[in-house]
Structure 1
Amino acid sequence: MLQVCLNGSRAVAGSAALPVSPQAMARSAAEAVAAGATDVHVHPKSPCGDDSLSPRVLAPTLQALRAQVTVPVGVTTGAWAEPDPAARLARVRSWTVLPDHASVNWHEPGAEEVAALLIERGVGVEAGIWSGTDGAARFARSPLGPRVLRVLAEVTDPAPATARATARALLAAIGPAHGRPVLLHGEDGGAWPVLRLARRLGLATRIGLEDTLFLPDGEPASSNAELVAAARALPGRPATTQEPGDTGSR
């Protein structure tokens, strides 16, 4: 599985290629799927470019995307989009158009309540477990663990020299992950090293302008599709094969 992460919470001025409007996200998603992406993760944006959980923002974004792609489409529920846990729950409860899945960062306040509501509403949950947080320990204790769609193992170490080691440590902390599949990815300078590790371990992974603005050779990426094509061109191997010393293969 190769997920494309279209935009993230990056500032609108960060890249001219960053899709912000529903129409731009839909075009970008269609191009990325044509390049080989099999799943979409998006941050719906308000007219001023801020991440939003409002149904008035979410609905037109999902409708535009689904008019262009047939692969699953997921959204964020990050606390930065709605810091108050009770208000975040109210937002999710008010959604009139539902995504196929939504990421829930397990270290954030109110994560389990948001995840439980999403599951109740029939939305798949990506359990976001970030390196450098207590998310892995919380997820290991969670009764919701066996019910999530997958684990989203996010390596927040942006240093190319250390991101792979951080990824291995994160996978070890996540452990058996309640038997759920794991998607491993990095960000910024760690995006490509972690993606290569995920491919070698046979894990699902993702790429897109949310995670990096650059191609593997350091050149700026012109689009999400270009990033997906570059990821597809990297070598990989089946999930049944494991590198010596790696414990993250599922």
Structure 2
Amino acid sequence: MLQACLNGGRTRDFHAAVPFTAAELAQDAAQSVAAGAQELHVHPRGADGAESLEPDDVAEAILAIRTIVPGVPVGLSTHWRIPPGGKARQSPIEQWTVLPDYVSINLVEEDAAEMISLVLGKGMGVEAGLWSVSDAERFIGLPDAAKCLRILIEINEQEAQESLAAATGIISVLEHADFTLPILLHGDEASVWPMFREAMARGYDSRIGLEDGRLLPSGTKAADNADIVRAAVLLARVY
């Protein structure tokens, strides 16, 4: 499965094509799906352009995307820094009435177990975000771990050998615990394409898009999210 991560917390200083508004997210989603993406990961924005978990902002983004690409799973981020930030972000999530298909929850965050319980209780899927071996060890000990939709291995290390070591360390913990949930492996900036290749070689899912980086495998700047997705589809055919 190839997921397109359309915007994250990126600004237009990073890339002029980063989508902000619900309409922009929907249009970008349509182009990315046409290019080969099978799922979507987005960060809704408020009127000020900042990331938002407010029910109205979430509903507007999800409904706009589902109108233009019906049936394509849509996921959101719940990371610690999205306003109101910290544990307080649980309050707007509790108020969501238009629900994404899944959300990502980072195990490095203090309230990860609470968040997983909250999200599962509302009927949404959980992508359990693991950044390190310690995250993986924490995750496998959670009572709700096996109820999650998938494991999201997120590699932030930039140097090639360090990023590969981080990924293999997490994978080793999961294999030792005999976890059989689907795995999505992806990198960030310099590790985007190395981790994409590693995911393809291992038969894992992956994601690609302007949230993670703006470069094509050649090192040239991508035109937009669809350009990155097309490059990933072509690269995946090698494996």
The TM tier, using the shorter chain, reads over 0.9
Q: Indicate the SS of the match to 2:92.
A: helix
Following the alignment from structure 2 to structure 1, what is the Cα–Cα distance between the partners of residues 117 and 54? 19
Q: Which residue of 2 aligns with 1:247?
A: none
Distance 1:181 1:14, change over 3 A: same
TM-score by length of 1: 0.90
- The answer on whether the counterparts of 1:185 and 1:206 sit within 8 Å (CA) in structure 2 is yes
Q: Which residue of 2 aligns with 1:36?
A: 36
| Comparing 171-180 and 147-156, the one that deviates more | 171-180
Q: Indicate the SS of the match to 1:67.
A: helix
Q: Which residue of 1 aligns with 2:86?
A: 84
Following the alignment from structure 2 to structure 1, what is the Cα–Cα distance between the partners of residues 209 and 220? 14
Q: CA deviation at 1:120?
A: 0.8
The answer to whether the aligner puts 1:99 opposite 2:134 as a matched pair is no
Q: CA deviation at 1:51?
A: 1.1
Following the alignment from structure 1 to structure 2, what is the Cα–Cα distance between the partners of residues 11 and 177? 40
Following the alignment from structure 1 to structure 2, what is the Cα–Cα distance between the partners of residues 167 and 106? 15
Residues 67-110 of structure 1 show CA distances to partners (whole Å, capped at 9, x for unaligned) of 1112100000100104231x222111111210000001111011
Following the alignment from structure 1 to structure 2, what is the Cα–Cα distance between the partners of residues 128 and 75? 12
Q: Please give the root-mean-square deviation of Cα atoms over the aligned residues, in Å.
A: 1.6
Following the alignment from structure 2 to structure 1, what is the Cα–Cα distance between the partners of residues 148 and 236? 29
Following the alignment from structure 2 to structure 1, what is the Cα–Cα distance between the partners of residues 115 and 60? 22
Corresponding letter in the other structure for 1:205:
S
Corresponding letter in the other structure for 1:84:
G
Corresponding letter in the other structure for 2:85:
P
Distance 1:17 1:137, change over 3 A: same
Q: CA deviation at 1:173?
A: 3.0
Q: CA deviation at 1:2?
A: 0.3
Following the alignment from structure 1 to structure 2, what is the Cα–Cα distance between the partners of residues 208 and 120? 30
Q: Which residue of 2 aligns with 1:53?
A: 53
Distance 1:12 1:49, change over 3 A: farther
Distance 1:4 1:237, change over 3 A: same
Following the alignment from structure 1 to structure 2, what is the Cα–Cα distance between the partners of residues 188 and 196? 14
Q: CA deviation at 1:237?
A: 7.6
- The answer on whether the counterparts of 1:151 and 1:177 sit within 8 Å (CA) in structure 2 is no
| Comparing 110-119 and 155-164, the one that deviates more | 155-164
Following the alignment from structure 1 to structure 2, what is the Cα–Cα distance between the partners of residues 178 and 172? 10
Residues 178-234 of structure 1 show CA distances to partners (whole Å, capped at 9, x for unaligned) of 321110000100000000010011000010000111101111111111111100111
Q: Which residue of 2 aligns with 1:149?
A: 149
Distance 1:235 1:67, change over 3 A: closer
Q: Indicate the SS of the match to 2:179.
A: helix
Q: Which residue of 1 aligns with 2:190?
A: 189
Q: Which residue of 2 aligns with 1:230?
A: 231
Task: Give the share of equivalent positions with the same residue, in percent.
Answer: 40
Q: Which residue of 2 aligns with 1:245?
A: none
- Structure 1 unaligned spans of 5+: 239-250
Distance 1:212 1:177, change over 3 A: farther
Q: CA deviation at 1:52?
A: 1.0
Q: CA deviation at 1:135?
A: 1.4
Residues 10-69 of structure 1 show CA distances to partners (whole Å, capped at 9, x for unaligned) of 233211011111111111111110111000000111122211111121010001100111
Following the alignment from structure 2 to structure 1, what is the Cα–Cα distance between the partners of residues 161 and 195? 11
